């Protein structure tokens, strides 16, 4: 698969990555330079820059590979057999009970060892 990705890479991919880095740097520097401006305007500008950078990334071979990975993962999520509400509730209650038991055991051991140390020292 690595050879397929290498073969599909455009000669302009590195230039696109430089543009993405430049956009990110411009967003960071611009956000600090315009710190006295309204937060709403700065957030909107950062969102516009993020969308532009994301669009450029999707034009690269690695960006297309990542997009395909996320698309395949979304398809896999549809095929997962999710637990029912009752199964989720039962599992959650079992985990909470186990955590409570371990917490009480640790508290008891801590109290016991603290009592031993205070008896020895003091």
Domain ranges of the chain: 11-79, 83-121
Indicate whether this model's pTM tops 0.75: no
pLDDT tens for 58-101 read 999 999 999 999 999 999 999 999 999 999 999 999 999 999 99
Tell me the C-alpha distance between 65 and 71, whole Å.
10
């Amino acid at each position: 698969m690595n050879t397929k990705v290498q073969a599909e890479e455009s000669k302009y991919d590195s230039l696109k990555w430089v543009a993405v880095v430049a956009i990110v740097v411009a967003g960071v520097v611009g956000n600090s330079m315009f710190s006295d401006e309204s937060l709403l305007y700065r957030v909107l500008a950062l969102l516009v820059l993020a969308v532009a950078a994301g669009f450029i990334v999707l034009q690269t071979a690695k960006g297309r590979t990542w997009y395909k990975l996320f698309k395949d993962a979304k398809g896999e999520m549809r095929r997962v057999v999710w637990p029912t509400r009752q199964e989720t509730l039962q599992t959650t209650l079992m985990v909470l009970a186990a955590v409570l038991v371990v917490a009480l055991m640790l508290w008891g051991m801590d109290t016991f060892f603290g009592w031993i140390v205070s008896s020895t020292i003091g």
